[in-house]
């Protein structure tokens, strides 16, 4: 039996922005339940919910104050159970974000831990004495700016926070912390959840010796803020102890049927690909991993090939998840606009590429509409990182604005109240109802292309053989024993032509023509070529 997640397309829901059912301007679980048929109609297999747990919402739910309850803004545990049951009726698996590396500073564990140095949870977080001059214990930076250490006057010590100061890091070197975290995971597995998306999966452990990081090699590596990227972050994350914890969590999941864990590797470049490979190697760690490798500005054949090929070499038996957008990065239609003939053409090209990659596929709400990044004003921001560093850092609000369902309705059908982030005209122009009425819309293209992927075993189970072509052409063949599809993509605005040697037929979604052994691809063109014998492409 082949595990369901190996062939899956996973749809990420950002609950605050999907559908509001109460009129308070914030999306909720009942709103998600109301819109599940839209998701099912895409042909996807699973939904991933960004955090829905009790939280002060300093980082929009990624600061958890109770791991085993639902935040009232999203509903109740009963609402969750109804949503889960309806998703299962529609054939959709459900996974939730588990933010385990840190909690909210309002979590009862931290409230107790910060009281003094002798309480039962005194060592549940990463505490350290100041240096003799009062400065922080290490030079580590926070992702959201400033030192990764906050001084607590009552204890007379600093605590570690890799993100906001309201998000203290748990001390995973303490086995009691590990046991408590495993108990929270068991709570949701017992409730019928199908798995977890593990936030910042490479941040659980820190260097026990609290060594400072060296400067970044080869220039700064920008991620969130450039201060963080100015260091080679080897001591504050990516510790070997992470693997032992993942094996414990996997052992728990393996006590249930059909559970999947996908980890978010928070790193950049080749290191992220190496970590993906390491964290999925064998059968005792993560089922899958994804990184920010394809979530940045790079848009060229060498980059995409390098990501996939690097993972395949590092973990030939591992499983990657590939995605182009999520709640932390600018939407890819906007991010790659300089390579686009039009917004629609780059959206369709990206979809065709993504659905042809070997591995599990992830898409982010609104991506199926070709949605653009929302241009935000300072007074509209909620992201504390952006508020602190505006305008140098634009923040993440631009990719988190509400789904647009009905272009005629108030707030495009998202809420009857005032939305927590604005609904603007450029986004409303991509609404679901408008795209449903247009046969060649991005929405219909996603359905068609997901269906094409699922109806061709070589696209889900076939191996990848790369074809060497000059930039801007990306090409490879996906093959099983009895089926072959050659996938060709023009990653530029300029038309390209290739010579085809062998018999091939255009099949499935396409933006190309074949005539007299010549494959012509317009700007942002793409083709799937079906063939039974060896096919050769030359520039």
Catalytically active residues are: 199, 264
Q: How far is CA 145 from CA 149, 227, 285, in A?
A: 11, 7, 32
Helix (H/G/I), strand (E/B), else coil: 102: strand
Which residues contact residue 218 at a Cβ distance below 8 angstroms, ignoring those fewer than 6 apart?
none
- Report strand pairing: 127-128 vs 157-160: antiparallel
DSSP symbols for 173-211: TSHHHHHHHHHHHHHHHHTT--EEEETTTT-S---TT-P
Helix (H/G/I), strand (E/B), else coil: 231: strand
Give the span between the Cα atoms of 39 and 11, in whole angstroms: 8
- Phi and psi based region of residue 471 (left: phi greater than 0; alpha: psi -120 to 50; beta: remaining): beta
> How would you label 484-520 residue by residue, b for 16+ Cβ within 10 Å and e otherwise?
bbbbbbbbbbeebebebeeebeeebbbbbebeeeebe
Contact assessment for residue 471 and residue 301, using Cβ atoms and an 8 Å cutoff: yes
Give the span between the Cα atoms of 181 and 68, in whole angstroms: 11
When computed from its CA atoms, the radius of gyration of the chain, rounded to whole angstroms, is 23
Q: How many helices (H) and strands (E) does the chain have?
A: 15, 22
| Burial degree of 351 (CB within 10 A; 0-12, 13-18, 19+) | buried
Give the span between the Cα atoms of 490 and 471, in whole angstroms: 9
Helix (H/G/I), strand (E/B), else coil: 505: strand
Determine the distance from the C-alpha atom of residue 390 to the mean position of all C-alpha atoms in its chain, rounded to a whole number.
24
Give the span between the Cα atoms of 354 and 15, in whole angstroms: 24
Give the span between the Cα atoms of 122 and 257, in whole angstroms: 37
According to DSSP, the residues that pair with 290 across neighbouring strands are: 264
Determine the distance from the C-alpha atom of residue 502 to the mean position of all C-alpha atoms in its chain, rounded to a whole number.
39
């Amino acid at each position: 039996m082949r595990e369901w997640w190996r062939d899956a397309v996973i749809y990420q829901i950002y609950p605050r922005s999907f559908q509001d059912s109460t009129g308070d301007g914030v999306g909720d679980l009942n709103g998600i339940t109301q819109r599940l048929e839209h998701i099912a109609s895409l042909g996807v297999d699973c939904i991933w919910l960004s955090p829905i747990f009790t939280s002060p919402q300093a980082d929009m739910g990624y600061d958890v104050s109770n791991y085993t309850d639902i935040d009232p803004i999203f509903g109740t545990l009963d609402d969750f159970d109804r949503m889960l049951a309806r998703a299962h009726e529609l054939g959709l698996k459900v996974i939730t974000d588990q933010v385990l590396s840190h909690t909210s500073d309002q979590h009862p564990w931290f409230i107790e831990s910060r009281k003094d140095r002798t309480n039962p949870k005194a060592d549940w977080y990463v505490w350290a004495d100041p240096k003799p001059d009062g400065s922080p214990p290490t030079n580590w930076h926070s992702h959201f700016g400033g030192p990764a250490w906050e001084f607590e006057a009552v204890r007379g010590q600093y605590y570690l926070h890799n993100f906001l100061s309201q998000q203290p890091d748990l001390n995973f070197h303490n086995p009691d912390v590990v046991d408590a975290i495993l108990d929270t995971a068991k709570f949701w597995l017992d409730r019928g959840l199908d798995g977890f998306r593990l936030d910042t999966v490479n941040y659980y452990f820190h260097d026990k010796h609290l060594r400072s990081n060296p400067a970044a090699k080869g220039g700064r590596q920008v991620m969130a803020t450039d201060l963080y990227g100015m260091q080679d972050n080897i001591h504050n994350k990516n510790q070997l102890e992470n693997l032992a914890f993942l094996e414990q969590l996997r052992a728990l999941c393996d006590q249930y049927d059909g559970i999947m864990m996908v980890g978010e590797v928070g790193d950049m470049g080749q290191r992220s690909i190496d970590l993906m490979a390491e964290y999925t190697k064998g059968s005792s760690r993560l089922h899958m991993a994804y990184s920010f490798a394809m979530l940045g500005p790079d848009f060229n054949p060498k980059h995409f090939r390098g990501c996939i090929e690097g993972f395949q070499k590092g973990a030939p038996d591992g499983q990657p998840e590939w995605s182009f957008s999520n709640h932390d990065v600018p939407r890819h239609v906007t991010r790659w606009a300089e390579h686009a003939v039009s917004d629609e053409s780059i959206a369709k090209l990206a979809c065709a590429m993504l659905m042809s990659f070997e591995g599990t596929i992830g898409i982010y709400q609104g991506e199926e509409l070709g949605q653009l990044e929302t241009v935000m004003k300072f007074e509209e921001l909620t992201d504390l990182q952006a508020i602190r560093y505006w305008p140098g850092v634009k923040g993440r609000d631009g990719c988190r604005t509400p789904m647009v369902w009905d272009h005629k309705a108030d707030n495009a059908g998202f809420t009857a109240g005032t939305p927590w982030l604005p609904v603007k005209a450029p986004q409303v122009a991509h609404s679901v109802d408008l795209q449903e009425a247009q046969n060649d819309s991005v929405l219909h293209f996603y359905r068609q292309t997901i269906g094409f992927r699922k109806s061709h075993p070589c696209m889900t189970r076939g191996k990848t053989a790369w074809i060497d072509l000059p930039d801007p052409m990306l090409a490879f063949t996906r093959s099983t024993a009895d089926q072959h599809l050659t996938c060709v993509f023009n990653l530029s605005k300029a038309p390209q032509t290739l010579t085809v040697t062998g018999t091939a037929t255009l099949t499935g979604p396409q933006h190309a023509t074949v005539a007299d052994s010549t494959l012509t691809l317009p700007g942002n063109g793409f083709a799937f070529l079906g063939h039974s014998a060896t096919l050769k492409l030359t520039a």
